[in-house]
């Protein structure tokens, strides 16, 4: 079973306020919240961004953070054609076809405030998905992102940080006007592209390499790459 993190609505930073990753072109509407592997039913929060800019840029809407990771655990991020693929589903809308806007996600592991939110591991930089937002309704999009290779051993205070938003290169005379909806208050999750119901957005890390479980309020990563290697040798 994959490890699914729900993207709650914003304004719950819990005192964890790192800078956004390099690569985001605008953070003026940034909100922070916790990501969780359980639904906390905190409601929904659709946000809209607009400007008078036609440049090619990505706008970060949310920065979600996990509880602290248990220290001393090895997170395996293989390379050589066996890279981890992170999947994300979220609903949004561009307000005109000429906006040319897409979902954008990035993922890192950062330290705590005492470490000045030190960058521990970049899983993937802010990256656009392949499918443009609908210009007629909030509709889900599925996105796939390749994790950078290189194992990492967690230390005290580490957290998983997921950033998301909307980005694109508007046509002449258009702007970046687009909306994204964050929620975890539905009994149903998005399951395929084009769904327009008010369901839950999420990000998944495959369990065949890393397993995450909440233990005493923490996410505990357990390396599973060895078992995958053994199964291949049978």
Distance of alpha carbon 33 from alpha carbon 50, whole angstroms = 22
- Check residue 230 and give its pLDDT: 32
Helix (H) or strand (E) holding 57: strand 57-65
Of 105, 98, 169, 107, which Cα lies nearest the Cα of 141?
A: 105
- Check residue 218 and give its pLDDT: 52
- Check residue 64 and give its pLDDT: 96
User: CB–CB of 35/202 below 8 Å?
Assistant: no
- Check residue 70 and give its pLDDT: 85
Query: Tokens at residue 8, please?
Result: 């709650």
User: CB–CB of 132/170 below 8 Å?
Assistant: no
User: CB–CB of 180/46 below 8 Å?
Assistant: yes
Query: Tokens at residue 124, please?
Result: 């993937």
What domains are there in the chain, each with its CATH number? 3-232 (2.60.120)
Residue 229: partners with Cβ closer than 8 Å, 6 or more residues away? none
**Rounded average pLDDT per 10-residue block, the chain, 234 residues:** 80 88 97 87 90 97 91 89 94 97 97 96 97 97 96 92 98 98 93 95 76 48 39 36
- Check residue 220 and give its pLDDT: 54
What is the Cα 211 distance to its own chain's centre? Answer: 17
């Amino acid at each position: 079973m994959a490890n699914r993190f729900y993207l709650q609505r914003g304004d719950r930073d819990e005192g964890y306020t790192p800078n956004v990753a390099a690569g985001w072109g605008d953070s003026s509407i940034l909100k922070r919240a916790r990501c969780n592997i359980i639904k906390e039913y905190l409601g929904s929060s659709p946000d809209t961004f607009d400007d008078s800019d036609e440049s090619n840029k990505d706008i970060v809407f949310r920065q979600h953070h996990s509880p602290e990771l248990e220290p001393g655990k090895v997170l395996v991020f293989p390379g050589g054609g066996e890279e981890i693929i992170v999947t994300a589903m979220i609903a949004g809308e561009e307000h005109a076809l000429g906006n040319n806007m897409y979902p954008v996600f990035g993922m890192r592991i950062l330290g705590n405030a005492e470490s000045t939110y030190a960058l521990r591991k970049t899983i993937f930089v802010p990256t656009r998905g392949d499918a443009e937002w609908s210009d007629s309704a909030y509709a889900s999009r599925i996105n796939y992102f390749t994790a950078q290779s290189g194992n990492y051993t967690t230390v005290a205070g580490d957290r998983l940080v997921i950033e998301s938003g909307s980005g694109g290169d508007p046509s002449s005379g258009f702007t970046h006007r687009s909306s994204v909806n964050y929620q975890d208050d539905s009994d149903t999750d998005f399951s395929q592209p084009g769904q327009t119901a008010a369901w839950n957005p999420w990000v998944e890390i495959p369990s065949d390499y890393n397993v995450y479980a909440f233990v005493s309020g923490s996410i505990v990563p357990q390396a599973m790459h060895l078992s995958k290697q053994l199964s291949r040798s049978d």
